[in-house]
Chains A and B, each alone.
Chain A
Amino acid sequence: MTTLIAIIGLGVLCLIFEIFDFRKAIIPISIIGLLAILGLTVSEFNSPANYYNNMIVVSKFSVSFSSLFIVLTIFLVALGHNFYDNHQSKLSDYIAIKIFLLSGAVAMVSFGNLAMFFLGIEILSISLYVLAASNRVNVKSNEAGMKYFLMGSFASGIILFGICMIYGAMGSFDIVEISDMSQSAELPIWFPIGIVLVTIGMLFKIAAVPFHFWAPDVYEGSPTLTTALMSTLAKVVAIATLYKLLSSMHADINYSFQIVVVIVSIASMTFGNIMALRQVNVKRMLAFSGISHAGFMLMTLLSLSTSAGSLLYYTSAYALSGIAAFSVILYVCKNRENEDVVNFHGLGKTNPLLAAILTGSLLSMAGIPIFAGFFAKLVLFSQTIQAGYLVVVIFAVINSIISVGYYFKLILAMYTKEPNETRTGKPFLIYAVAVVAILLNIIIGLFPSLVLDLLA
């Protein structure tokens, strides 16, 4: 609870700083503030509690995911320093929106009531709509914002409709009450329909097939930093929330629901990978790769009671490698017209450190050992086999092989092509974020127990 209040306080502080013309201090203060909030959150790990008639429930699950979100936000705020240096006057807005977005994210994993859940989604989504369109003079950014807003609000409507159905069936918004009642034998038909509608809405936010159509366009059109935010933070928040919601409603008991998860998961990973093979724009490629990773993450829904730890691990591994990759993209594609692979030619010669970091993060996404992505996939496969879905694992393995194809396209471009022009300047924060993110990735790759055992 204190986390949520502190985050909102920090967001307001950002805006006040602008009023008093402390613009230079905004990013350092936000980072320090977020680090303090991270400490505050972690300290709550062993003290679960409920607040305001179960509106907010602080549990191990919510604390560990909130901590992950805060870490990601720190990275994203730090990257803003270089990214927004042409828009100094808007800096406070951008940073404040990101911090408010974080408050929505934290609310989404610590909800105890469906009303709070919906509030969280809306805070997160509206911040994202604004950020997607934040490059006002760019047509593509406007288009991205508009597309995302139209599709997103539609999904929000579906979620809201689903919540109404669940309320109609159960007569309550409270998760604990719904959870108790959902174990009774006779359930009104509205209850499963409600769950399906909410799931559809969330699958949209996760960008899983067949609700993924917005993702490539929006990712490509949005400012790169916003794309980084959407593909790491927003995706992770959505899947964590869906997991929490479905596990509290015991959705996995139903066999037909599991079949749906299997199909969506296989379709997402296959479709995402095959489309990614053909992309020349790196942001689009990562959008499709994100769709395929969404398919992997959905595999956790097949063993809801035991897979919280592996979901946390997979999301951390994916998000950390995503942050590292995007910080390199931010550096390479600054002031370029597009983010095509051409821009990465010869990076291995001109900037070996960043090339190595991007290689590392791509290898992590492909699931090569010592990077966290390997253990993430391993644990996921292990759990899915235990749940009895060897077929899904075989598909996942085939997809891992396909994904190497496009990740390596980028690696090849960096190491075998001649550089076209050198970049000057070494923005400290971009380097710092990239190095720290990939190091964290390797650390949890070498010592997976650090994360896996948190939610065991």
Chain B
Amino acid sequence: MNVSLILIILLFGALVTYLAGDKLASKVALFFGLAAAGCSIVLLNHFNLGENISYISQWITSPKVSFALKADGLSLAMVLLTTVLTSIIILSSFGNDFKNSKAIYSLILFMSFAMTGTFLASDGLLYYIFWELSLIPIYFIALIWGNGDAEERKKAVVKFFIYTLAGSLFMLVAFVYMYQKAGSFLIEDLYKLDLTVNEQKWIFTAFFLAYAIKIPLIPFHTWQANVYQKAPTLGTMLLSGIMLKMGLYSLIRWQLPLTPLAAKEYMYIFIGVGIAGVIYGSIVALRQKDLKKLLAYSSLAHVGLIAAGTYALNLDGFRGAVLQMIAHGFVVVGLFFAAEIIYRRYETRIISEMGGIRSQSPKFTSMFLILVLASVALPTTFNFIGEFTVLYSLSQINIWFALLGGTTIILGAYYMLKMFQHVMLGETNTKVFAYVTFSEGLTMIIIIAVLFFFGLYPKPINDLITPSLEAILNTINKYN
């Protein structure tokens, strides 16, 4: 039994979902999403018992490319995040009525397949292929099932596609360049390369373009808010919950260990870029009138902090970044889902048109409040642990970084609570807010349970990821 099984389940699931027809599509997709999640938990067990669950075989002879999937703690944590969130996202969209739903559900599973592949691939080219492949389903999801004016949506989505493709093509060139030196795309061989500082700087920049656009970091974030707003909520969840984690994961897995000298030289600049994103995202979020856009900018602020944590190049930074990646994945999916629940009833995303939900649906209000507080890193939630580990790692570099990064919590609390106040409290709205349905409630409760469970007991994840992060850190420090 090895990790390729998860990929097979997801790919096969995408096919079966398409063939199942519009009526059954959502249930079939949920089944395969759960099957993949279950499979990854079983594999996690095998991994903890010390079994070898990696898979490698020769794929192309010249250029030498292998179909290599390697699972360590970090990859498995990300795979779990992907498969669990995929199931949650599918469950959350039970209340939606999509045109041609067999296509959208099969695209979700296909995208989950590509993202899982990205987290597992240990061959540069295979990784690149999965990375690119994940772009195609989200493009169609946002384009066809998105909302708002068709022309504007088209512009936003095409801009997104061209941006990300442009970034990743430079990464491809960097990979090809390293292949010429190493004679192989395998990550172990690439780690062994002895590149000069100058080469490393160029490769670092090429990788940075790809990741900064995907994550996104300022000044490459301009596609983000529009696409998040225009995509259907399910696409937004996929983008913010999982896809941007691909960029952050790749920082740790590929960029920093491959170009440690450049990373050390540019450390302050890129921590600065991350923190600039924190402040910029928070300030812009303050002024948003559209709920989805507000969440998009808050997401920009949070990932900026995560990126700063990874560029700090110490174990706490890495650990905090990964924890926060997982925590942010859950909380952002929950928040976007809450926005969708409101949209299903009020048919608006403008904050000023909402209000007074509390008196009509106190249960939903309290669930929403928990998510809001989790997103501003209230102690006992998972986000608190992630965010504070990152801030601690930044304080080891320079106390000012930690202080500036900490504004994410202060400003975040301000705009999130203000938003909560406008959306939930206030005068009773004339429009009826129907009770949350079973699937909606279940989704919210699962997310909240996960956030609290790991907030109180983060040890399992910590134990899972720490050895692999230490190994990566050793590679980074090989020059010392």
Q: Are B61 and A449 in contact (CB under 8 A)?
A: yes
SS of A interface (majority): helix
Q: Within 8 Å CB of B153, what residues of A?
A: 416
Q: Is A210 at the interface (CB under 8 A from chain B)?
A: no
Give the docked Cα–Cα distance between A309 and B158 (Å): 34
What is the CB-to-nearest-CB distance from B434 to chain A, in angstroms, rounded to a whole number?
Answer: 32
Cross-interface CB contact of B129 among A369, A385, A393, A400, cutoff 8 Å = A369
Given known A368-B132, A369-B132, A378-B125, contact A400–B180 (CB-CB < 8 A): no
Chain B contact-residue range equals 20 to 34
Q: Is B53 at the interface (CB under 8 A from chain A)?
A: no
Q: Is A164 at the interface (CB under 8 A from chain B)?
A: no
Residues 391-409 of chain A, each 1 if its beta carbon lies under 8 Å from chain B, else 0: 0011001001100110010
Given known A385-B180, A452-B60, contact A374–B143 (CB-CB < 8 A): no
Give the docked Cα–Cα distance between A401 and B165 (Å): 7
Q: Are A369 and B177 in contact (CB under 8 A)?
A: no
Q: Are B60 and A449 in contact (CB under 8 A)?
A: yes
Q: Is A70 at the interface (CB under 8 A from chain B)?
A: no
Q: Is B349 at the interface (CB under 8 A from chain A)?
A: no
A selection of 23 A-B contacts at a CB cut-off of 8 Å is A348-B144, A374-B132, A375-B60, A378-B125, A381-B172, A381-B176, A385-B173, A385-B180, A393-B173, A393-B176, A397-B172, A397-B173, A401-B166, A404-B161, A404-B162, A415-B140, A416-B143, A416-B150, A416-B153, A449-B59, A452-B60, A456-B61, A456-B62
Q: Are A382 and B169 in contact (CB under 8 A)?
A: no
Q: Within 8 Å CB of A370, what residues of B?
A: 129, 133
Give the docked Cα–Cα distance between A404 and B163 (Å): 11
For B125, B132, B172, B179, the residue with the greatest tally of chain A CB atoms inside 10 Å of its CB is B172
Given known A363-B136, A416-B150, contact A382–B179 (CB-CB < 8 A): yes
Q: Are A369 and B128 in contact (CB under 8 A)?
A: yes
What is the CB-to-nearest-CB distance from B406 to chain A, in angstroms, rounded to a whole number?
Answer: 38
Q: Are B63 and A382 in contact (CB under 8 A)?
A: yes
Chain A residues with a Cβ closer than 8 Å to the other chain, count? 32
Q: Is A386 at the interface (CB under 8 A from chain B)?
A: yes
Q: Within 8 Å CB of A368, what residues of B?
A: 132, 135-136, 165
Q: Within 8 Å CB of B129, what residues of A?
A: 369-370, 374
Give the docked Cα–Cα distance between A229 and B128 (Å): 34
Q: Is A379 at the interface (CB under 8 A from chain B)?
A: yes
What is the CB-to-nearest-CB distance from A402 to chain B, in angstroms, rounded to a whole number?
Answer: 9
Q: Within 8 Å CB of A378, what residues of B?
A: 63, 125, 172, 176
What is the CB-to-nearest-CB distance from B170 to chain A, in angstroms, rounded to a whole number?
Answer: 7
What is the CB-to-nearest-CB distance from B179 to chain A, in angstroms, rounded to a whole number?
Answer: 7
Q: Within 8 Å CB of A419, what residues of B?
A: none
Q: Closest residue to B202 on the A side, CB-wise?
A: A390
Q: Is A412 at the interface (CB under 8 A from chain B)?
A: yes
Give the docked Cα–Cα distance between A308 and B115 (Å): 35
Residues 121-160 of chain B, each 1 if its beta carbon lies under 8 Å from chain A, else 0: 0000100110011011000100110000010011000100
Give the docked Cα–Cα distance between A378 and B173 (Å): 9
Give the docked Cα–Cα distance between A78 and B179 (Å): 42
What is the CB-to-nearest-CB distance from A393 to chain B, in angstroms, rounded to a whole number?
Answer: 6
Q: Within 8 Å CB of A348, what residues of B?
A: 144
The chain B residues found within 8 Å of chain A, CB to CB, are 59-63, 125, 128-129, 132-133, 135-136, 140, 143-144, 150, 153-154, 158, 161-162, 165-166, 169-170, 172-173, 176-177, 179-180
Beta-carbon contacts under 8 Å, A142-171 to B? none
What is the CB-to-nearest-CB distance from B58 to chain A, in angstroms, rounded to a whole number?
Answer: 9
List the 9 closest pairs (A to B, CB-CB), nearest first: A369-B129, A401-B166, A397-B169, A369-B132, A382-B176, A449-B60, A449-B61, A448-B60, A381-B176
What is the CB-to-nearest-CB distance from A310 to chain B, in angstroms, rounded to a whole number?
Answer: 9
Give the docked Cα–Cα distance between A386 and B143 (Å): 39
Q: Is A180 at the interface (CB under 8 A from chain B)?
A: no
Give the docked Cα–Cα distance between A452 and B143 (Å): 36
Please give 10 more A-B residue pairs, beta carbons under 8 A apart, in addition to A363-B136, A400-B169.
Answer: A368-B135, A369-B132, A381-B173, A390-B177, A397-B173, A401-B166, A416-B144, A416-B150, A449-B62, A452-B61
Give the docked Cα–Cα distance between A401 and B168 (Å): 10
Q: Are B132 and A453 in contact (CB under 8 A)?
A: no
Q: Are B63 and A404 in contact (CB under 8 A)?
A: no
Q: Within 8 Å CB of B61, what residues of A?
A: 449, 452-453, 456
Give the docked Cα–Cα distance between A374 and B135 (Å): 14
Q: Closest residue to A446 on the B side, CB-wise?
A: B59
Give the docked Cα–Cα distance between A178 and B302 (Å): 68
Q: Within 8 Å CB of B170, what residues of A?
A: 397
Q: Are B62 and A408 in contact (CB under 8 A)?
A: no
Q: Within 8 Å CB of B144, what residues of A?
A: 348, 415-416
Beta-carbon contacts under 8 Å, A331-357 to B? 348
Given known A369-B128, A369-B132, A412-B143, contact A394–B165 (CB-CB < 8 A): no
Q: Are A405 and B162 in contact (CB under 8 A)?
A: yes
Beta-carbon contacts under 8 Å, A438-456 to B? 447-449, 452-453, 456
What is the CB-to-nearest-CB distance from A2 to chain B, in angstroms, rounded to a whole number?
Answer: 31
What is the CB-to-nearest-CB distance from B145 to chain A, in angstroms, rounded to a whole number?
Answer: 11
Beta-carbon contacts under 8 Å, A354-372 to B? 363, 368-370
Given known A379-B63, A456-B62, contact A408–B172 (CB-CB < 8 A): no
What is the CB-to-nearest-CB distance from B165 to chain A, in angstroms, rounded to a whole number?
Answer: 6
Q: Are B133 and A369 in contact (CB under 8 A)?
A: yes
Q: Closest residue to B157 on the A side, CB-wise?
A: A412
Q: Closest residue to B150 on the A side, CB-wise?
A: A416
